[in-house]
Amino acid sequence: MGGQKKPTISKLKKMLEGKRKKSDKEETRKVEYGVLIDPQKREELLNYINGLRYVTPNMVSRKGEIKISVAKKFLRELEREGVVKLDIKNRELEIYIPLRS
């Protein structure tokens, strides 16, 4: 009936230190993904794609630090240009194969 006991001073200090450590780790892991592909990043991604056996939008998104929806549009554009070929597609995944010329 008395409710929860008050924590001791040392217990409060430990709880606060634990919260600070967690917040520091979360801040360093966040990555801001962009929505545009400039010509320099496009060339970098093309070189990256040509060195692979296959490529997915997720791989392009991580390498170029762009959104997955932008990566999908980028790969579809490359397919229209004839740089890559769509190999497998279903609701969740698109796998492209680079065409080396």
- Residue 56 has a pLDDT of 95
- Residue 36 has a pLDDT of 76
Q: How far, rounded to the nearest angstrom, does the alpha carbon of residue 62 sit from its chain's CA centroid?
A: 4
Contact, 42 vs 60, CB < 8 A? no
Domain that holds residue 50: 39-98
Q: CATH no. for residue 43?
A: 1.10.10.10
Assigned domain for 44 exists: yes
pTM above 0.85, yes or no: no
What are the 10-residue block averages of pLDDT along the chain, 101 residues in total?
80 80 58 77 93 94 91 94 93 91 52
- Residue 26 has a pLDDT of 56
- Residue 94 has a pLDDT of 93
Contact, 26 vs 19, CB < 8 A? no
Number of domains in the chain: 1
Strand partners, 89: 94
